[in-house]
């Protein structure tokens, strides 16, 4: 009985690279790629509503980067081997990563009632939602991936998509689309000092 059961088990070295994928991996990667495709298509829809040249340039850069990620991931998934284009590092061009803290009163926001009301604030918010969603899906898929190449493409893409979201956050914050409240300094200190450093060597 045990011999018969063990005949059904195969190591990855016995399986061709293109089939070296687990079931959970394929389902999660399929979902991650589908989310990426949806995000890329939404970028196309949003682009026509953008007024700010800086945001338009950001959309163009994001689309180019996400297309490279898509191609690399699809190639790795289909072949089980290293894609032709390895994961690139996403660098944004803003010279300052200064965050503006504090809240300014503003008019209560309500949902747009016509397409003409879709503005740069709306578009940058939509883009942020896409990037957050893709980051989560890629992380979950990487944790399920059995194929080492697919896992690495997913995992290596996550910090770069996070960087894209950070670039977008700085843009939103600078334009007061994304305000950052702070706790009182005394409350901050309580949180910051609530853990201590472990002393000595850890093994």
The helix/strand/coil state of 130 is helix
First to last CA, the chain: 43
Dihedral sign of CA atoms 134, 152, 85, 23 in order: negative
The domain segmentation of the chain, as residue ranges, is 18-91+118-192
What are 106-121's pLDDT values in tens digits? 888 899 899 999 999 9
**Domain 18-91+118-192 bears CATH identifier 3.30.930.10:** no
Give CA–CA dist 43/11, Å, rounded: 41
What are 29-64's pLDDT values in tens digits? 999 999 999 999 999 999 999 999 999 999 999 999
Q: What is the pTM of this model?
A: 0.86
pLDDT at 17 over 60: no
């Amino acid at each position: 009985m045990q011999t018969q059961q063990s005949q059904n088990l195969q190591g990855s070295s016995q399986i061709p690279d293109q089939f070296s994928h687990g079931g959970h991996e394929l389902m999660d990667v399929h979902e991650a790629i589908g989310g990426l495709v949806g995000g890329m298509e939404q970028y196309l829809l949003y682009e026509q509503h953008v007024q700010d040249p800086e945001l338009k340039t950001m959309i163009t850069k994001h689309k180019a980067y996400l297309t490279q990620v898509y191609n690399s991931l699809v190639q790795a998934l289909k072949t089980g081997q290293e894609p032709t284009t390895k994961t690139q590092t996403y660098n944004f061009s803003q010279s300052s990563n200064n965050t503006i803290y504090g809240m300014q009163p503003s008019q209560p926001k309500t949902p747009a009632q016509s397409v003409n009301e879709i503005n740069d604030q709306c578009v940058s918010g939509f883009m942020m939602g896409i990037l957050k969603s893709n980051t989560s899906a890629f992380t979950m898929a990487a944790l399920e991936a059995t194929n080492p190449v697919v896992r690495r493409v997913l995992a290596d893409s996550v910090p770069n998509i996070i960087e894209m979201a950070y670039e977008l956050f700085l843009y939103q914050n600078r334009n007061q689309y994304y305000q950052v409240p702070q706790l009182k300094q005394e409350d901050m200190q309580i949180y910051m000092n609530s853990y201590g450093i472990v002393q000595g060597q850890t093994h």
